[in-house]
Amino acid sequence: MAAGDMRDNLLGISWVDSGWVPILNPGNVLDYFSERSNPFYDRTCNNEVVKMQRLTLEHLNQMVGVEYILLHAQEPILYIIRKQQRHAPSQGGPVTVPLADYYIIAGVVYQAPDLGSVIGSRVLSAVHGIQSAFDEAMSYCRYHPSKGYWWHFKDQEEREKAKPKSKKKEEPSSLFQRQRVDMLLLDLRSKFPPTFYQVRVVKKEPEPPAETVKQETEREPATKTSAPAPPSKPPPEKRARLQ
């Protein structure tokens, strides 16, 4: 399974034969690429047939199938080889379809990624960076029911330790608490609306002036003294006891 996965994903591997590196040139670079230990080389290609029959590479134009050609050479360090599918012998028209490109830098062979792989890799790296930023930001986030959300950074702890401690006045309530209480009161008011009652107004009689009140108080003791005392009853008579 590991060998199969390696062959399917050729973008993450490279190949080099140090014996060929000093003598590489445009004339023998295809022979270097066709080494049996090269995992990028297809043994069923037309180049292998031409090599076994000891023919020149010009005979590839008269064959049909997979072939390898030297696309670009920048001696002595860079060579680009293309793998293509030939559908018909060349007769002046486009009869080949590119399958993959390989570049050789200082003797090391790599497979060039296609456009989909490049875009996928860039998007994956960008998403990984964004996810890492969100994870780091969430590690500084704090929450408490009485305070709500706030940011707590490591530098802030060092600054607080360096600053002289001063007594902070405790607030009776925070903004978060006041907002929550207001929301609860509005909710209760909507569920249980207040009822209003009509208040009856009672008219008070006007108080008498102070002079009349004094005259009445003076008349009251006079009437008490002039009233006759009730008659006193005589003591009860003593009766003789019968023996």
Which DSSP symbol is given to 169?
P
- Residue 6 forms part of a structural domain: yes
pLDDT value at position 167? 63
Q: What percent of the chain has pLDDT over 90?
A: 31
Tally of domains within the chain? 1
Phi/psi of residue 108, nearest 5 degrees: -95, 130
Torsion sign across C-alpha atoms 63, 68, 74, 75: negative
- Residue 163 forms part of a structural domain: no
Average pLDDT over residues 149-164: 73
Domain span including residue 65: 2-112
Q: Is residue 142 pLDDT above 80, yes or no?
A: yes
Q: Is residue 5 pLDDT above 60, yes or no?
A: no
Q: Is residue 2 pLDDT above 50, yes or no?
A: no
Long-range contacts formed by 143-147: CB under 8 A, 24+ apart: 146/174, 146/176, 146/177, 147/174, 147/176
pLDDT value at position 203? 67
- Residue 125 forms part of a structural domain: no
- Residue 129 forms part of a structural domain: no
CATH number at residue 89: 3.10.450.580
Average pLDDT over residues 85-92: 80
Q: Which one-letter amino acid corresponds to residue 109?
A: V
pLDDT value at position 153? 79
In this structure, the chain runs to a length of: 243
pLDDT value at position 240? 57
pTM greater than 0.85 (yes/no):
no
- Residue 238 forms part of a structural domain: no
Q: Which one-letter amino acid corresponds to residue 2?
A: A
* pLDDT single digits (tens) 15-67: 999 999 999 999 999 999 999 899 999 989 999 999 898 888 888 888 899 99
What is the rounded distance in angstroms from the CA atom of residue 37 to the CA atom of residue 16? 9
Residue 169 tokens read as: 């006045």
Which is nearest to 51 in space by CA: 28, 74, 71? 28
